[in-house]
Amino acid sequence: MTASCPGTYRVAGREIRLDEDCYLENPSDWSRDVAVWIAENVEGLSLTEEHWRLVDYARAYWERRGECPPVGRLLKDLGITFEDLYRLFPSGPAEGLCRVAGVPRPGGCS
């Protein structure tokens, strides 16, 4: 991990703040540039079209429901396997996917 959390960073001309667990403090600061930066500097990932499909889904789900999607819903709606999810986001859906999508840590995750 390149980023030190908590911390404030300049990404694509904007200042973003990550909390102590490296989640975006203000989800409205999210952009695709911020997602790429978090993926590279927090998760150690280079985003592919497969990643973006999940990120866009998680972001849209959060905008509709105010939470990161439950894993079962994500797998069903996108037709992917648990193994695919962890191949794309090795730190898991609550950690990697929700961080990159710029949404708060899901409830019940610590």
109 is known as an active-site residue: yes
Q: 5, 68, 98, 109: which one is catalytic?
A: 109
The 10 Å Cβ neighbour count of residue 53 is 13
Q: Which two tokens stand for residue 53?
A: 């499909």
Annotated catalytic sites, by residue? 109
